[in-house]
């Protein structure tokens, strides 16, 4: 892995790919996006579980994904597994700024802060 300063270039590229896919996927009236991603399994096969929501529109949350999001998530899982690490799960928060740009905040779910985020994914996850 090539690193520059505190950020790994490959990981940065993967997150950019994922953020772009999320922005493309959510409804246009979502100005804030909360996305939770956790790796689990269905019938013994690895599966990514998602939960998308907008804090201002809590009744419009959903869990369906797109091929582009799944591809970016697969790259993210591969990145962690290549380093012999378990996929930690993530919460990605995006907020539309004036001018249409998006600010993002990405938190691992396996940290103390991440544990306080309370993932809304309700499927039983086999770990």
| pTM > 0.95: yes or no | no
To which residue do tokens 């996305």 refer? 35
Is the pLDDT assigned to residue 97 strictly greater than 90? yes
**Residue 124 within any structural domain of the chain:** no
Is the pLDDT assigned to residue 5 strictly greater than 60? no
**Residue 63 within any structural domain of the chain:** yes
- Mean per-residue pLDDT, 69-90: 88
**Residue 121 within any structural domain of the chain:** no
d(CA 117, CA 36): 10
- Tokens, residue 5: 């300063």
To which residue do tokens 């544990």 refer? 115
Q: How many folded domains does the chain comprise?
A: 1
**Residue 107 within any structural domain of the chain:** yes
**Residue 65 within any structural domain of the chain:** yes
In this structure, what CATH number is given to the domain that contains residue 67?
3.30.500
- Tokens, residue 25: 């996927």
Q: With cut-offs at 50, 70 and 90, classify the pLDDT of residue 6.
A: low
- Mean per-residue pLDDT, 93-117: 85
d(CA 33, CA 61): 10
pLDDT of 7-61, one tens digit each?
Answer: 689 999 999 999 999 999 989 999 999 999 998 888 888 889 999 999 999 899 9
Other residues' Cβ atoms within 10 Å of the Cβ of residue 91: 21
Task: Give the CA diameter of the chain.
Answer: 45
Quote the domain boundaries for residue 63.
Answer: 3-115
Model pLDDT, residue 114: 63
**Residue 62 within any structural domain of the chain:** yes
């Amino acid at each position: 892995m090539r690193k520059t300063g505190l950020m790994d270039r490959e990981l940065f590229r993967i997150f950019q790919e994922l953020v772009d896919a999320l922005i493309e996927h959510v409804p246009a009236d979502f100005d804030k996006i909360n996305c939770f991603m956790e790796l689990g399994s269905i019938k013994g096969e690895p599966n990514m579980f998602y939960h998308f929501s907008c804090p201002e529109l809590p009744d419009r949350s959903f869990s369906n994904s797109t091929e582009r999001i799944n591809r970016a998530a697969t790259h993210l899982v591969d990145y962690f597994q290549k380093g012999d690490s378990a996929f930690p799960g993530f919460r990605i928060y995006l907020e539309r700024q004036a001018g249409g740009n998006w600010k993002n905040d990405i938190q691992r779910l396996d940290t103390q802060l991440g544990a306080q985020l309370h993932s809304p994914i309700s499927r039983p996850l086999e770990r």
